[in-house]
């Protein structure tokens, strides 16, 4: 790919990598008040299946917070590749990227847009055939939003979405995301809207539920994808 390594090639045994990647997601992971790591989800020209998580530690994060934005192409050189030890991974990639002092990030020439979201079909989730150790993307018509509640585990905001086959998923945002998404849903008003949930976790219950998974989880309305009009024609 233009002389760059691909994300699928990355492994810990080799160094000196240079990749050209699209920044799918940028999020802060607070480790103490006013101290944070920076999390990134990156992908290359091969699309959504190429996604990999990158971590910028608390020492380097303030330098990069205004230098790396979502929806930009970047060239990243000289970084570590390690196994992902988290019990639930943001992507299906076995490895993750860690920035170093010697890591260099530069702007890449603009490239053709590619869909970097990988929407999972509702029936796969309801039939429990999806790997619950990897976060998922889902898209559906927003049916209803419940009331914000709290318990011993924190805040919860329930809501439901429906796909073009009239399958319904129960969803739940937790804690900071519950507050953030409540404000977002209120801003939509009463209009018919399709929402995309990206990087959400599946619960391991008899009736699977889609729940937020910290700051990596995101929601946005009416994304520019063919699924939106198909869903609206069926549901609304």
Give the residue extent of every domain in the chain: 7-107, 122-235
Which residues on neighbouring strands pair with residue 68, listed in sequence order?
A: none
On average, the pLDDT of the chain sits at: 92
pLDDT at 112: 72
What's phi and psi for 46, nearest 5 deg?
-80, 0
Q: Which CATH class is domain 7-107?
A: mainly beta
In 73-115, alpha helices (H): none
- Lowest average pLDDT, out of 132-136, 211-215, 222-226, goes to 222-226
**Which tops the pLDDT comparison, 116 or 212?**
212
110 has a pLDDT exceeding 90: no
H/E stretch holding 104? strand 104-107
**Which tops the pLDDT comparison, 223 or 2?**
223
pLDDT in tens, 32-56: 888 999 999 999 988 767 899 999 9
What's phi and psi for 170, nearest 5 deg?
-85, 135
pTM comes to: 0.92
Are the C-beta atoms of residues 4 and 48 closer than 8 Å to each other? no
pLDDT at 50: 85
Q: Which CATH class is domain 122-235?
A: mainly beta
- Is there a shared CATH topology between the 7-107 domain and the 122-235 domain? yes
pLDDT at 115: 76
Up-side HSE of residue 180: CA atoms within 13 Å toward CB?
A: 13
pLDDT at 113: 67
Residues with Cβ within 8 Å of 18's Cβ and at least 6 positions away in sequence, in order, are 4, 5, 75, 76, 77, 78
Q: Which of 231, 146, 149, 236 is nearest to 195 (CA)?
A: 231
For residues 54-80, average pLDDT = 95
């Amino acid at each position: 790919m233009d002389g760059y390594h691909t994300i699928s090639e990355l492994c810990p045994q080799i160094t000196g990598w240079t990749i050209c990647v699209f920044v799918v997601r940028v999020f802060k992971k607070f480790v103490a008040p006013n101290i944070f790591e920076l999390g990134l989800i990156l992908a290359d020209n091969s699309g959504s299946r190429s996604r990999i998580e990158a971590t910028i530690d608390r020492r380097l994060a303030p330098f990069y917070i205004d230098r790396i934005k979502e929806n930009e192409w970047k060239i990243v050189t000289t970084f570590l590749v390690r196994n992902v030890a988290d019990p639930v991974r943001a992507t299906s990639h076995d490895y993750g990227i860690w920035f170093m002092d010697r890591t260099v990030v530069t702007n890449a020439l603009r490239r053709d847009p590619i869909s970097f979201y990988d929407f999972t079909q509702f029936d796969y989730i309801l039939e429990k055939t999806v790997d619950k150790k990897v976060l998922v993307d889902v898209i559906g018509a927003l049916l209803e939003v419940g009331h914000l509640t709290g318990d011993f585990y924190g805040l919860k905001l329930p809501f439901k979405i429906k796909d073009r086959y009239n399958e319904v998923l129960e969803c739940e945002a937790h804690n900071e995301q519950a507050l953030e998404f409540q404000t977002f849903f209120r801003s939509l008003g009463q209009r018919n809207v399709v929402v995309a949930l990206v990087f959400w976790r599946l619960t391991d219950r008899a009736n699977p539920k889609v729940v937020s998974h910290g700051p990596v989880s995101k929601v946005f309305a009416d994304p520019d994808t063919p699924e939106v009009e198909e869903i609206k024609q069926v549901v609304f």
